Amino acid sequence: MNEEWCLGCHLCEYFCAFVNSGEKYMPKAFALNRQNVPNITVEEGDRINFAVNCRQCDEPLCKKGCITGAISVKDGVVTIDTEKCVGCFTCILSCPYGAVVPNKEGKAAKKCELCISNGGIPACVTNCPNRAIVLEEVY
Amino acid sequence: MPINYIYPEYEIIRDKNKCIKCKVCVRQCSNEAHTYDEELDCLYEHNERCVNCHRCVALCPTRALKIVKTDHTFRENYNFTGELINEIYRQAESGGVLLSSMGNPKPFPVYWDKLLINASQVTNPSIDPLREPMETKVFLGKKVSKVEFDENGEVITKGYPNLELSMPILFSAMSYGSISKNAHEALARAAQELGIYYNTGEGGLHKDFYKYGKNTIVQVASGRFGVHKGYLEAGAAIEIKMGQGAKPGIGGHLPGEKIGEDISATRMIPQGTDAISPAPHHDIYSIEDLRQLVYSLKEATNYEKPVIVKIAAVHNVAAIASGIARSGADIIAIDGFRGGTGAAPTRIRDNVGIPIELALAAVDQRLREEGIRNEVSIVIAGSIRNSADIVKAVALGADAVYIGTAALLAIGCHLCRDCQSGKCNWGIATQREDLVKRLNPDIAYKRLVNLLTAWNHEIMEMMGGMGINSIEALRGNRLMLRGVGLNEKELEIFGIKHAGE
Amino acid sequence: MIKREGEIRIPSGCAICGFINKSGKKVSGDVIVKSISYMHDRSNGLGGGFAGYGIYPEYKDLYAFHIFFEDLNARVETERFLEKYFDIVNLSRIPVKKVKSITDSPLIWRYFVEPISTKLAASQLDEKEYVVQKVLKINSDIKGAYVFSSGKNMGVFKAVGFPEDIGEFYRLEEYEGYMWTAHGRYPTNTPGWWGGAHPFALLDHTIVHNGEISSYDANRRFVEMFGYVCTLLTDTEVITYIFDYLTRRQNLSYTDVANIIAAPFWEHIERMEPNQREKFKFFRNTFSSLLITGPFSILVGFEGGLMALNDRLKLRSMVAAEKDDTLYVASEECAIRAICPDVDKIWSPKGGEPIIATLYEKEGASICR
């Protein structure tokens, strides 16, 4: 995330919510359910805007706090197994970035998993109009 | 409430079925043409504020927006068109000079579109640029007229300082002030990567851009903003701006509100003061004065850099160019009446000057008749729109072309022609920090590189078709052109035949 | 009405050949006629010609003007002009033989002249420049007159027809020269004019050329800045002027000229030694408008030497051969084998690589510099 180029246009939030909604047509995704919650949030400052999503921590606090072992790190991506998640939301409380949120049913937690199940390149990256969000491998 | 005479020119059409109320349009429009009402959860369009720049259209994630020309109309009048009527209303209200931006949009003939390019058939082979070398390298500057040798037959003549370009294209002068720092950075980096040049315009050279000096042409204009020794030494060439195609005969005016800290430092004027470039250089009232400035600049830079003199294409352009060629200039830049601007009086932009195609043909021919074509290179500007225009320009006699508008289009400009407002939604013609950051130079410079790489390929393809494998063999090769729909006089000025002849 | 050379640009394909005996041994003109006749199919009967060097030993210090006149008026006017600027030492009709296929012959005259010394001095020009200016003046200003050969101890013979018929017409077997070049033309439409045939000549430079250069107008408009007037609109004419400009006015060697008109590609220049690179870059930049593109193979005859050159992509055939003291060059090998069946060496020169041969007596002496 390069805040120098973030325009605060919030498109990342909408594309994130859209690709994670399971719908194929964007207007439908938003018409059906106004409760779409994106996994990325743009924080607007006076002059600086910053889109926040999961930092994919090496030793995530959310994982540490998870009572059912639903959170794991696979290939550097922190993922939540919704089958195991019981919706205690300890992870939401423990994430210092506010990157974990309840899913739309409110029964489990969800977070940015870098669009791994949506075809690879995160929707927020492809759709950022000013290349403020980029996907880089960290070694 | 006073009577509002003017109906908005454009209408914003929102497809309510597609709109997801993401409000990107609201956030991105610096003219506040979109607003959101929280109470009603509803988006409104304010057509009177819309300049038709397409920022909202381009960013709308569901393609729910489009801008259309209003069908609201005056009673049909061929003479007093709606545009003219509105302009009179505006002036009657403001009492001011009408201002416009970018190039002349009026329906004057576009001669590029009346010139056609030749190709080889049977009697000589076309050349495939993918298989054979195809050269577009160009040198700009004065050429040696007599080669001298030493007793061993080795050449002892030293050439004059020349600019070396990988392709016959340069970025036109656009000052830091008229365009944003990010736009300048994109031009500079693209010029460096492509092996060509960009031009500072009259706004000086920002301290961060001295590192691009080898690919920079530094301009000395009538306001002399930002001109100092280090500046002159930083560039690869120095351009004296005598005139601009969009506004021949008048100067420039950058309003004080655009003169922030950075621009103030770069232009060397106090913050918040208007930067006014006088109409003439007040030390150049005639051709002999120009000669003095040319040589002062050469003296100041140790005769190591070519000096360009840029003029607007006006009626007597051939004679003026001839005078400039004899004044020590190494390169003459001629800007046609379609050339762009960040702001010009509308009447001047639309009515003063002549088409660059005719100016170029006349200048090249005149310099040849006088035997001094080799004393100077000719660079033309003023609406080069694509690679075919460049091929035609070179065939008419240009050494290279300046592109301004096309370069801005490549980085996002939508030619809404509202630069003078300073609220460019694309981050180009603005100094507002939140707008400037919309232009990410990493993206923009690459788009410029892409555009020119594509054009260069197309130039090579057209050259290959003509059986020419080096651009110098195309320069002034008017036999490669034919006219369509041109009258005898026009053909005579172009020095070409009509198609079919 | 069909336009003739000068009113329209006519592309054409061609046959060329030539040879030089470097020891200066004279060879009769029928040899070159035989050589070119083997390439009959490369021309179509619409033009051809020959240039012979060393053919006028008795007048070797005088300019030999060969002139076509369309009518008597043109001759009278031209002679009046010549008398004003030159001492005419000898004048005569060029002897010809009636040949069935050669028709519409103009009046063909030969003048051996030298500039009037006082006029030359008054002109403040060097002698060659003086002669060139007068020749160009006749060609552009006197209607119906055309000087098609103007060098010393050499001459051009050309006409509309097949080259072998033209050789017979001009009785070339009666001339002996150390060097001959020949041309057979295949124009794409019908020029009815003898002046348009090749070789093209200015002073002792003669050029025969096969090709169609794509840089024509760029080259023409550049040389015309220096007083040359391209009246024929042919490639050969402009190439001749380029040679004249570069060798006589700029004092460049024939090798340098080749490196300018068929310049190496930039990628090649970049790989050269620094000194060499600077020189080539300087030449390409300084004389950029004299780069010739498109296909050509040319033979340039000059006093005491011959240069053969192909365009830099070698888009036209050209073969060279050696036998003892003689260098042969031709569009096709058959034209060489026809007159020299047992060559010592035969090869196909690379594009842009000049082959230059000079008389042994001229060797070491600098050519044009």
CA–CA distance, B318 with C94 (Å, rounded to integer):
49
**Nearest residue of B to residue A15, measured between CA atoms:** B61
**Helix-then-strand count for chain B, H and E:** 15, 21
Residue B68 falls inside a structural domain: yes
Tell me the chain A residues in contact with residue B23 when contact means C-beta distances shorter than 8 Å: 10
Question: Per residue in B44-60, pLDDT tens?
Answer: 999 999 999 999 999 99
What tokens appear for A24 in the block? Answer: 């194929």
Please check the confidence at residue B363 and state whether its pLDDT lies above 50.
yes
pLDDT value of position C368 = 41
Our CA-based measurement puts residue B374 at a distance from the nearest CA of chain C, in whole angstroms, of 9
Q: State the pLDDT confidence band at A137, using cuts at 50, 70 and 90.
A: confident
In a domain, B48, yes or no: yes
**Do A11 and B17 count as a contact with CB atoms less than 8 A apart?**
no
Select the residue of C213, C266, C286 nearest B137 (Cβ to Cβ). C266
pLDDT averaged over chain A? 86
Percent of residues, chain B, with pLDDT higher than 90: 89
Tell if the CB–CB gap between A30 and B61 is shorter than 8 Å.
no
Residue B111 falls within a domain, yes or no?
no
Maximum separation of any 2 CA atoms in chain B, in Å:
92
By Cβ distance, the residue of B125, B146, B477 closest to C218 is B477
Q: Which among B24, B62, B433 has the least Cβ separation from residue A47?
A: B433
CA distance A11 to A123: 10
Q: Which residues of B touch C212 (CB under 8 A)?
A: 123-124, 467
Smallest CA–CA distance, residue A126 to chain B, in Å, is 12
Rounded to whole angstroms, the Cα distance separating B466 from C59 reads 46
The range of the structural domain enclosing residue B397 comes to 167-473
The percentage of residues in chain B with a pLDDT greater than 70, rounded to a whole number, is 100
Residue A133 has pLDDT above 80, yes or no: yes
With touching defined as 3 or more inter-chain CB pairs under 8 Å, the answer for chains A and B is yes
**Which pLDDT score is estimated for B252?**
85
Subunits close to A (at least 3 CB pairs below 8 A): B
**Per-residue pLDDT tens over the stretch B160-194:** 999 999 999 999 999 999 999 999 999 999 999 99
Q: Which residues of B touch A17 (CB under 8 A)?
A: none
Determine the distance in angstroms separating the CA of B342 from the nearest CA of chain C, rounded to an integer: 36
Q: What is the pLDDT of residues C238-284, one digit of tens each?
A: 999 999 999 999 999 999 999 999 999 999 999 999 999 999 999 99
Within 61-100 of B, beta carbons closer than 8 Å to A belong to: 61-62, 64
Q: Which of residues 269-328 of C touch B (CB under 8 A)?
A: 279, 282, 284-286, 288-289, 291-295, 312-313, 315
Indicate whether B344 and B211 sit together in one domain. Answer: yes
Q: Is B440 on the interface with A (CB under 8 A)?
A: yes
C285 occurs within a structural domain? yes
Q: What is the mean pLDDT of chain B?
A: 95
Pick the CATH number of A56-111 from 3.30.70.20, 3.20.20.10, 3.40.50.960, 3.40.228.10: 3.30.70.20
Boundaries of domain holding C152 = 12-360
Closest to B189 in 3D by CA, of B455, B442, B439, B451: B442
* Statement: residue B68 has pLDDT above 70: yes
Q: Which residues pair with B378 in a beta bridge?
A: B332
Chain B residues closer than 8 Å to A48 by CB: none
Residue in chain B closest to A33 (alpha carbons) equals: B20
For residues B434 and B349, state if they share a domain.
yes
Tokens of B299: 């003296």
Q: Are residues B68 and B189 in the same domain?
A: no
Q: How far is CA C331 from the centre of its chain?
A: 16
Which member of B143, B149, B368 has the closest CB to residue C224?
Answer: B368
Q: Do B287 and B400 belong together in one domain?
A: yes
Tell me whether residue A22 is exposed, middle or buried, using C-beta atoms within 10 angstroms of its C-beta: 0 to 12, 13 to 18, 19 or more.
exposed
Collect all residues from B whose CB is shorter than 8 A from any CB in C.
Answer: 120, 123-125, 127, 132-133, 135, 137, 139, 143-144, 146-147, 149, 153, 155, 157, 159, 162, 368, 371, 373-374, 397, 466-470, 472-480
Task: Please report residues of B whose CB lies closer than 8 A to that of C284.
Answer: 472
Task: State whether B230 and B310 are in the same domain.
Answer: yes
Q: Look at residue C363 in the predicted model and tell me its pLDDT.
A: 63
For the cut 60, the answer to whether the pLDDT of residue C128 exceeds it is yes
Q: Which helix or strand (DSSP H or E) is residue B311 part of? A: strand B307-312
Q: Which residues in chain C touch residue B470, judged by CB atoms under 8 angstroms apart? A: 263, 291, 293
pLDDT digits (tens, 9 = 90+) for C204-228: 999 999 888 999 999 999 999 998 9
Could you read off the pLDDT of A82-127 as tens digits, one per residue?
888 888 889 999 998 888 888 877 777 888 888 888 777 899 999 9
Return the minimum-mean-pLDDT range out of B53-57, B418-422, C31-35, C285-289: B418-422
Q: Is residue B241 a contact partner of residue B293, using CB atoms and an 8 Å limit?
A: no
Is the confidence at residue B432, as pLDDT, over 90?
Answer: yes
Say how far apart CA C319 and CA C294 lie, in whole Å.
Answer: 19
Nearest CA in chain B to C279: B155
Query: Residues of A with CB below 8 A from B440's CB?
Result: 5, 130-132
- pLDDT at position C190: 52
3-state secondary structure B92-152: HHHCCCCEECCCCCCCCCCHHHHEEECCCCCCCCCCCCCCCCCECCEEECCCCCCCCECCC
CATH number of the structural domain spanning residue C321: 3.60.20.10
Q: How far is CA C277 from CA B71, C5, C259, C283, in A?
A: 65, 40, 12, 10
Task: Say yes or no for a CB contact (<8 Å) between A30 and B20.
Answer: yes
Domain boundary among B96, B127, B150: B96
Query: Is C171 within 8 Å of C97 (Cβ atoms)?
Result: yes
| CB contact (8 A) between residue A10 and residue B22 | yes
Q: What is the CA radius of gyration of chain B?
A: 24
Contact yes or no, C with B (3+ CB pairs under 8 Å): yes
Contact (CB<8Å) B437/A11:
no
Reference B140, options B368, B414, B312, B376; nearest CA is B376
| Sign (positive or negative) of CA dihedral C235, C238, C244, C245 | negative
Output the domain CATH number for residue B299: 3.20.20.70
Among B134, B363, B477, B496, pick the best mutation site for testing chain C contact (most C Cβ within 10 A): B477
Tens of pLDDT along C64-115?
999 999 999 999 999 999 999 999 999 999 999 999 888 889 999 999 999 9
User: According to the model, what pLDDT value does residue C369 have?
Assistant: 40
How far B135 CA sits from the closest chain C CA (Å)? Answer: 8
| Rounded alpha-carbon distances, angstroms, from residue A14 to A30, B14, B23 | 9, 18, 10
Q: Any idea where the domains of chain A sit in the sequence?
A: 1-53+117-139, 56-111
CATH assignment at residue B91 = 3.30.70.20
Q: What average pLDDT does range C27-52 have in this prediction?
A: 91
Residue B110 lies in a domain: no
Chain B residues with beta carbon closer than 8 angstroms to that of C250: 146-147
Longest pairwise C-alpha distance within chain C: 60
Q: How far is C229 from chain B (nearest CA, A)?
A: 12
Q: Over 80: is that where the pLDDT of A132 sits?
A: yes
Interface check B20 vs A, CB under 8 A: yes
The answer to the question of residue C250 being in a domain is yes
The pLDDT value recorded for residue C232 is 79
Tell me whether chains A and C touch (3+ CB pairs under 8 A). no
Please indicate, yes or no, if residue C368 is contained in any of the structural domains: no
Task: Give the residue numbers in A contacting B (CB under 8 Å), as ranges.
Answer: 4-5, 7-11, 13-15, 18, 26-27, 29-31, 47, 127, 129-132
CB pairs < 8 Å spanning A and B: 56
Q: Is the pLDDT of residue C189 over 70?
A: no
Over residues A14-51, the pLDDT tens digits come to: 999 898 888 889 998 888 656 678 888 888 877 778 88
Chain C segment 186-215 residues within 8 A of B by beta carbon are 188, 211-215
Does B23 contact chain A (CB < 8 Å)?
A: yes
pLDDT of res. A34: 62
∠ CA B367-B373-B375, rounded to 5°: 120
Nearest CA in chain B to C188: B123
Average pLDDT over residues B336-360: 95
Averaged confidence pLDDT in chain C: 91
Residue A11 has its nearest CB partner, among B24, B64, B433, at: B24
Question: For position A31, what pLDDT does the model report?
Answer: 81
Give chain C's domain count.
1
Q: Do C295 and B467 touch (CB under 8 A)?
A: yes
Lowest mean pLDDT among B2-6, B178-182, B478-482, C55-59: B2-6
- Least Cα separation, residue B447 to chain A (angstroms): 13
Contact C61, C357 (CB under 8 A): no
Query: Do B17 and A27 make contact, defined as CB atoms within 8 angstroms?
Result: yes
CA distance A26 to chain B (A): 7
Structure tokens, C325: 């003291």
- From CA C308, how far away is CA C306, in angstroms rounded? 7
B224 and B345, same domain (yes or no): yes
| Chains in contact with C, where contact requires at least 3 CB pairs less than 8 Å apart | B
In a domain, residue C334? The reply is: yes
- As for how many domains chain B has, the answer is 2
Q: Is the Cβ–Cβ distance between C164 and C33 less than 8 Å?
A: yes
Is C340 annotated as catalytic? no
B394 Cα to chain A: minimum distance (Å): 36
Q: Using pLDDT thresholds of 50, 70 and 90, give the confidence band for residue C366.
A: very low
Contact C310, C258 (CB under 8 A): no
Q: Which of A45-59, B129-143, B296-310, B339-353 has the lowest mean pLDDT?
A: A45-59
When pLDDT is averaged across residues B385-402 and rounded to a whole number, the result is 98
**What is the count of residue pairs from B and C with beta carbons less than 8 Å apart?**
113
* Predicted local distance difference test score (pLDDT) of residue A76: 84
How confident is the model at residue C58, as a pLDDT?
95
Query: Is residue B478 within 8 Å of residue C221, measured between CB atoms?
Result: yes
